[in-house]
Amino acid sequence: MGEGPLVLKLFLVVAVVAIAAMLLVALYGARAPLPQGVVNDAGYRIRKLWLGLVLVVAAAAFVLTLPFFPYPWAQASPGARHFEVTAAQYAFVMPAVVPANVPIVFDVTSQDVNHGFGIYAPDGRLFAQVQAMPDYVNHLPIEFHKKGHYVVRCLEFCGIGHAYMHGGFDVR
């Protein structure tokens, strides 16, 4: 196949395979048609086999990944201090300072519509986030090891002022 570009080689391979497939279908279609019963039996056999294969793969994936399920370890330590956060269009009411290197819990709610409570570390990366929902308090257990100013941004489109909805706190 010479020194042609890779795309041309790929095209030729695909074209040959496609032509072979079409010839195969044409030859197969020229034979006398099989009775419907035979076709059904073969189809159902393949379907059962496929279902079994999918079930085995799903069960294996479930069992193998279960140890990595994070929720059993996501509990706040019993002595953690709680800080209330209330979101509303278009601001956050929250503490100005939270302590570093101790487990704390943000108790997050909303006064009006759904908001997102997204905490950004001093380096600008998203550090943690939880939904702020009306008539419901979400608990966000967290521990800060880096001191500095953390910016909070709303991560749920909540109205016309959403893009300007932010706040922040210091970790000391």
* Site of interaction with Cu ion (CB under 5 A): 154, 158, 162, 165
Residue type, 107: D
In angstroms, the Cα distances linking 145 to 3, 6, 139 are 58, 52, 19
Output 154 or 171, the one with its CB closest to Cu ion.
154
Min dist. Cβ of residue 128 to Cu ion (A): 17
What are the residues whose beta carbons fall under 8 Å from the beta carbon of 21, sequence distance 6 or more?
Answer: none
Min dist. Cβ of residue 163 to Cu ion (A): 8
Tokens matching residue 121:
């570390």
DSSP string, 24-66: HHHHHHHSPPPPHHHHHHHHHHHHHHHHHHHHHHHHHHHHHHG
Min dist. Cβ of residue 166 to Cu ion (A): 9
Output 139 or 166, the one with its CB closest to Cu ion.
166
Min dist. Cβ of residue 153 to Cu ion (A): 8
Output 144 or 169, the one with its CB closest to Cu ion.
169
Q: CB–CB of 150/121 below 8 Å?
A: yes
Output 19 or 163, the one with its CB closest to Cu ion.
163
Min dist. Cβ of residue 154 to Cu ion (A): 3
Output 139 or 162, the one with its CB closest to Cu ion.
162
